[in-house]
Structure formats: C-alpha cells, structure tokens
Amino acid sequence: MKLLLYVILGCASYVVLAEDDFDDPDPWIGVNQSIHGFNDVVDAKLLRPTAVGYRKVVPPFIRQRVSNVFGNLGDVSD
C-alpha cells in the first residue's frame, strides 16, 4: 500500500528547475543558422540528387558489395 502511495505522490510531484539568467543563450546563433542554411542547400542540391541517382543506376547487388567494402574498412580498427 505504501508503494502505491509513493508511486502516486511521485507522479503527482514535479521538479522546479532553475531558470537561466542568460540574456543570450546561444551567442553563436548567427553562425549556426548560416551553417545550417548552407548544409540544407548542399543537401538539397548535391547530396540528395546524387544518392537518388546512385540508387536508380547502380544495381542492388553492386550496392551491397560497396556497402560490404565500407563495413570491412570499419572493422579494421576493431
């Protein structure tokens, strides 16, 4: 019975977190937004079309062999 009471009280309680007193929580926001925008453009214009084209042109059994090569390279350090 006590366990049930503790569970109910534990679920009903909440923790008050200290509020941040920072005026600017991310001083690098301008740089971060610029880099994020650049990454979005590169992804949309270069990486995604390349990946889609690769999947359309290269047969699955060759893609599997390429994947195996990179998997084996990853195992070298183990």
Name the residue ranges covered by the structural domains of the chain: 39-65
Encoded tokens for 3: 């366990």
Predicted local distance difference test score (pLDDT) of residue 24:
72
Residue 23 has phi, psi (to 5 degrees) of -75, -40
% of the chain residues with pLDDT over 90: 59
Provide the pLDDT for residue 68: 97
pLDDT at residue 70 above 70? yes
Over the stretch 17-43, which tens digit does the pLDDT of each residue have?
A: 656 556 778 889 999 999 999 999 999
Please give the average per-residue pLDDT across 8-18, as a whole number: 65
Q: How many helices (H) and strands (E) does the chain have?
A: 4, 0
Beta carbons within 8 Å of 10's beta carbon, 6+ residues apart: none
The rounded distance, in Å, linking the Cα atoms of 67 and 52 is 16
